[in-house]
Amino acid sequence: MEGGIMDGPEVTLSRSEDDPSLQGCFSPKRAPFRFLGLALMCFMGFGSYFCYDNPGALQDNFKNDLNMSTKKFVLLYSIYSWPNVILCFIGGFLLDSLFGIRWGTIIYMSLTLFGQLIFAIGGYTNVFWLMMLGRFIFGIGAESLAVAQNSYAVLWFKGKELNMVFGLQLSFARVGSTVNFLVMEDIYNYVSKTLGYLGAECIGTVLFLATLTCVASMICTLVLGCMDSHAEKVLRRNEGEEPTIVRLTDVKDFKNIFWLVTWICVSYYIAIFPFVSLGKVYFIRKYEFEPAVANTVNSMVYSISAIASPLFGILVDKSGKNILWLVLSIIGSLVAHGLLAFTYVSPYVCMILLGLSYSMLASSLWPLIALIIPEHQLGTAYGIAQALQNLGLAITSIVCGIIVDNHGYFMLEMFFFTWLWISLITAIIIWISDSNSTGGYLNMSPKQRELYEKNPCLPQIMEREKLLSGDGSTSDLSGDDLLQPQSDTRMRNRYLTRIGAETPVHIKEFAHCVFPLYSICL
Amino acid sequence: MMSSVDHRTLNFVFFVFLMVISSANSLQRTLNYAFNEDCKELCKNTNVRLAHVTAIGPNDTLHYLWDFTKNPSILIAVTSPAAKLVIDWHKYIMRIPNSLNFTEKPIYIFGVSIERLLEFNDINDKARIDEATDKNIKELKFENFEWHYKNITSKDNFVELYMKASKYHNPETNERRHGIIKFLMHGFGTLNHSRITPCMLHSENATQIDITLENIETERSFSKSRFAFELLIVSDNDPNTLLEVNTKRKLDDEFTPGIFEILELSTPVIYKKSAYLQWRPVSYIKPDRDVTNSSSTVFYPIKNATTDIYFSNTNLLYMYYGENMFNILVQRMNISLGGKGDNVYKETQYATWTFIVGYGFPPEERFSNIVIMIISIGVGLPLLILIMSGIYVCVRRRPKQPSDEFTHHR
């Protein structure tokens, strides 16, 4: 890869390279600075993911200590998710238009911390409405924080390790939730047995202790804010640029391809999250697994993604070709669900395949948005994607429950199957429409993208130059080139150079480009 | 290559078409129903309760006898269309064997009786009655319940009889218990899925029994009561053969959500004829029969029951077979309700069991039309895209007319 890790963003081109503030190993241009930032970005989300599943980890204790019915318990999760069907989008928009990324992150993190604190107070005093209020505020903060986290990642890593960073953030989310499930029970036992708290006070104390993770995340957010502010000054990011005004109406000018990507965010995830939430019983019923084993198999999707997401992220960073990976991962998921529905193949095989596909999808899909939408609207864009995904998941979780109760797990698999089909077809439509409108920008390798950004008509130029400059034989094409899908233009051009004919002027691929080299080449 | 793909798609479409057609067109029987048929005054003020369903088909007639006089019992007889059931009511009321017969010898006959209702104390939470000691097992005799003829729905293609047993009173020990047992008996005229969950597939040669144990007061000394049934199976086979329960695992739980297994017990085939007992290992613990309210059932090895210590010689089967029952295949099998780790009956106060008794072989379960539709779109659409793109490529690759300037250079 030519644009190696050490290179700074292009906006710094105006600045002379021997500026003292760019020297030293803590220069914003150097890797240690960015990777410290990355660590902070990951830990920034840790608190919210840890606290999100606090009730889940202490489900029995909640019910016993607070005399909570299952219905009320479920409300603690609903109040988190339903408002975010809209608020996530607003959060993203405010990030772009009003707060800016640094202040936005700090504000959302504060909301998260504040919400969790109220939740803990509610638990301590056993006042249900206070707990609900806490979860509500926590939800607003945490979901918008996730949007801000994405925007931070794009700002710092676009064109470099962005896919890996997305993968790493995803795996950190999983780690946060897993750690919560592992330690909360022990913390509860410590508080109740060693410290001797009882009932609601015990739950409250445990929740206060959990709040410490949010405090830690808050500290990370503040440090990251300082680092970002430093980097902005040193790198003179945004300097001399007109501040772009972001309006809510910009949304309607978003490219169609963005909406297609969002549609995949909705349709694909339907086949993952609701499945995992119902999966345990499915494995017990269909494969006669013991509950503990069924739980392990079921959570394999997440445990695999915790490891595989960053690795796949690196793979996508190096190779580009996001859409190819996207299509492959959807096909992988289809196969996994197909095996689960139509065979008795070991669920371990199915879930490993599903876990790998899911990680691959996360690493290739979310960065696509950053490639489509201009940076100043990214918060809004990620907010929309996440809000619509929340909406889809909120509705389908209910639908899935109804399907299982009335028509069984087999029909549920059919339902997932259908949604995966829809997302596969959407991915193919994205592939086709992208290669028609930009010559396949989204599916380019990083090198091709870099060239393309300098001149949007470059793919054609490159091909023609390469072919016309040489002796016309295919020997000058490297093996790598031959492996790539051959565009029509390329096939035609190679044919023309071989026969020594002039390129007909009417080749339609060139018609929409202003092509300065055109006449020279000919 | 193109044509072969085309051919296969056509075949597939045709196949789907055939499946849709065939599902709409199957053999039918017309049902008739009678209760204590022609008994008139004689049966008044007695405890005789004998329902008789005739299912008339084009070639033969099936007689289902549902008897609740003593133990709930079922007798299926296949006869020629001309044959009639003849009951000597005097003898029948007196419980004298061979009191009912057919005017012609039945082509095939098969009987199932619920011999015992057992309560056992599942102290080790194994949900198995064979793990319980004799001290921890108690029998509730069916004849100690008060029986009520509740309701009947009789149509040409469907008969439903609802019998209710309540107010248990054992005259010997003067033990009383509240709670009811519901028996929902079904006779079918067509091949279809039952309306009642677990919605089992039945043929037109089958009858379904749905039992609900509701609010039955459990034995006071038992801390973890569960219930079990003992079935008696009688068939005209060699008494030395041993019946076996066959467990089948399915992919599809569309009609019985969450249940992938189906259990079958078939009698040995004689002259191409046999009968079967079929059930799904599910017992519902609430009237809302859904996945969350489902628990499992456990069945136990089948044993011989050739001597009359194992069966009552007052039940319907003995009334038909009489002494002959010592010379044919008579076996018993236990089924207990509730699975390991699930709530015991004492907590749920509700348990169900549903089974089908049929003549012939159990019908094969098929994917429903909607599943076939989803699969055919899933497979058909990519094929269609393949064909379309194939045609597109062919059309584009075909050498253009002589006016095409490039062809000269070849």
Give the whole-number percent of chain A exceeding pLDDT 70. 80
Q: Which of A80-94, A355-369, B355-369 has the lowest mean pLDDT?
A: A80-94
Q: How confident is the model at residue B15 (pLDDT cuts 50, 70, 90)?
A: low
Residue B284: the pLDDT is: 95
Report the interhelical angle of A84-94 vs A378-437 (nearest 10°).
Answer: 90
Residue B177 has pLDDT above 80, yes or no: yes
Q: Which residue has the higher pLDDT, A105 or A496?
A: A105
| Ramachandran angles phi, psi of B250, nearest 5° | -110, 165
Residue B407: the pLDDT is: 45
Same domain, B205 and B255: yes
Contacts B405 to A, Cβ<8 Å: 501, 504
Sign of the alpha-carbon torsion through B340, B342, B346, B351: negative
Residue A111: the pLDDT is: 93
Q: How confident is the model at residue A11 (pLDDT cuts 50, 70, 90)?
A: very low
Mean pLDDT of the region B121-150: 92
Same domain, B232 and B334: yes
Q: How confident is the model at residue B399 (pLDDT cuts 50, 70, 90)?
A: low
Question: And the tokens for A196?
Answer: 């001797």
Residue B410 has pLDDT above 50, yes or no: no
Same domain, B235 and B121: yes
Among A281, A418, A501, select the one facing B406 at the smallest CB separation: A501
Mean pLDDT of the region B284-309: 88
Residue B281: the pLDDT is: 95
Q: How confident is the model at residue B13 (pLDDT cuts 50, 70, 90)?
A: low
Q: Which residue has the higher pLDDT, A268 or A252?
A: A268
Residue A511 has pLDDT above 50, yes or no: no
**Chain B interface includes A344 (CB < 8 A):** yes
Residue B60 has pLDDT above 90, yes or no: yes
Residue A277: the pLDDT is: 81
Q: How confident is the model at residue A250 (pLDDT cuts 50, 70, 90)?
A: confident
Expressed as residue numbers, the domain containing B143 is: 111-366
* Domain assignment of residue B44, yes or no: no
Mean pLDDT of the region A178-207: 87
Same domain, B228 and B342: yes
From A259, A273, A258, A261, select the one nearest A390 (Cα to Cα).
Answer: A273
Q: Which residue has the higher pLDDT, B396 or A269?
A: A269
Measured CA to CA, the distance from residue A472 to residue A470 in angstroms comes to: 5
User: Residue-wise over B279-302: b if at least 16 C-beta within 10 A, else e?
Assistant: bbbbbbbeeebbbebbbbbbbbeb
- In one-letter notation, the amino acid at residue A451 is L
Residue A475 has pLDDT above 60, yes or no: no
* Domain assignment of residue B317, yes or no: yes
Whether A411 and B371 lie within 8 Å, measured CB to CB = yes
Same domain, B387 and B251: no
Same domain, B357 and B401: no
* Domain assignment of residue B345, yes or no: yes
Q: Which of A270-284, A438-452, B80-94, B316-330 has the lowest mean pLDDT?
A: A438-452
- In one-letter notation, the amino acid at residue A456 is P
Q: Which pTM value belongs to this model?
A: 0.79
Whether B374 and A406 lie within 8 Å, measured CB to CB = no
Give the whole-number percent of chain B exceeding pLDDT 90. 64
**Chain B interface includes A286 (CB < 8 A):** yes
* Domain assignment of residue B330, yes or no: yes
Contacts B249 to A, Cβ<8 Å: 344
* Domain assignment of residue B38, yes or no: no
Mean pLDDT of the region A204-228: 93
Q: How confident is the model at residue B63 (pLDDT cuts 50, 70, 90)?
A: very high
Same domain, B217 and B136: yes
* Domain assignment of residue B104, yes or no: no
- Min Cα distance A342 → chain B (Å) is 6
From A145, A125, A122, A141, select the one nearest A75 (Cα to Cα).
Answer: A122
Whether B252 and A421 lie within 8 Å, measured CB to CB = no
- In one-letter notation, the amino acid at residue B161 is L
Query: For all residues of chain A together, what is the average pLDDT?
Result: 79
Q: Each residue of A15-41: pLDDT tens digit?
A: 444 555 555 556 777 778 888 888 998
Residue A42 has pLDDT above 80, yes or no: yes
Residue A505 has pLDDT above 70, yes or no: no
* Domain assignment of residue B102, yes or no: no
Whether A344 and B257 lie within 8 Å, measured CB to CB = no
Residue B367 has pLDDT above 90, yes or no: no
Whether A410 and B290 lie within 8 Å, measured CB to CB = no
Q: Which of A267-276, A481-490, B95-104 has the lowest mean pLDDT?
A: A481-490
Whether B291 and A405 lie within 8 Å, measured CB to CB = yes
Residue A447: the pLDDT is: 81
Q: How confident is the model at residue B401 (pLDDT cuts 50, 70, 90)?
A: low
Q: How confident is the model at residue A482 (pLDDT cuts 50, 70, 90)?
A: very low
Q: How many helices (H) and strands (E) does chain A have?
A: 20, 0
Q: Each residue of B295-306: pLDDT tens digit?
A: 999 999 999 887
Same domain, B16 and B148: no
Residue A243: the pLDDT is: 59
Mean pLDDT of the region A137-144: 91
Q: Which of residues 380-439 of A touch B (CB under 8 A)?
A: 404-411, 414, 417-418, 421
Question: And the tokens for B208?
Answer: 């379904």
Q: Each residue of A375-417: pLDDT tens digit?
A: 888 888 988 998 999 899 888 888 988 898 888 899 999 999 9
- Min Cα distance B94 → chain A (Å) is 48
Residue A5: the pLDDT is: 34
Give the whole-number percent of chain B exceeding pLDDT 70. 90
Mean pLDDT of the region B365-391: 85
Measured CA to CA, the distance from residue A15 to residue B215 in angstroms comes to: 84
Residue A458 has pLDDT above 60, yes or no: no
Measured CA to CA, the distance from residue A411 to residue B257 in angstroms comes to: 9
Which residue is it, tokens 């789907």? B16
Contacts B247 to A, Cβ<8 Å: none
Closest residue on chain B to A502 (Cα):
B406
Mean pLDDT of the region A352-357: 96
Q: How confident is the model at residue A239 (pLDDT cuts 50, 70, 90)?
A: low
Residue B370: the pLDDT is: 86
Measured CA to CA, the distance from residue A33 to residue A41 in angstroms comes to: 12
Residue B49 has pLDDT above 50, yes or no: yes
Q: Which of A67-81, B162-176, B310-324 has the lowest mean pLDDT?
A: A67-81
**Chain B interface includes A52 (CB < 8 A):** no
Q: Which residue has the higher pLDDT, B400 or B398?
A: B398
Helix (H, G, I), strand (E, B), or coil: what is residue B255?
Answer: coil
Residue A481 has pLDDT above 50, yes or no: no
Q: How many helices (H) and strands (E) does chain B have?
A: 5, 24
Q: Which residue has the higher pLDDT, B384 or A491?
A: B384
**Chain B interface includes A505 (CB < 8 A):** no
Mean pLDDT of the region A109-114: 94
Measured CA to CA, the distance from residue A94 to residue A83 in angstroms comes to: 16
Domain count, chain B: 2
Same domain, B361 and B379: no
Mean pLDDT of the region B103-113: 94
Residue A169: the pLDDT is: 86
* Domain assignment of residue B42, yes or no: no
- Min Cα distance B331 → chain A (Å) is 29
Same domain, B361 and B375: no
Whether B257 and A407 lie within 8 Å, measured CB to CB = yes
Which residues sit opposite B210 in a β-bridge?
B184, B354
Same domain, B391 and B269: no
Residue A459 has pLDDT above 60, yes or no: no
Among A341, A405, A407, select the one facing B251 at the smallest CB separation: A341
**Residue from A287, A331, A334, A411 whose CB has the most chain B CBs within 10 Å, to mutate:** A411
Same domain, B12 and B141: no
Question: And the tokens for B55?
Answer: 């299912």
Which residue is it, tokens 């309700």? B337
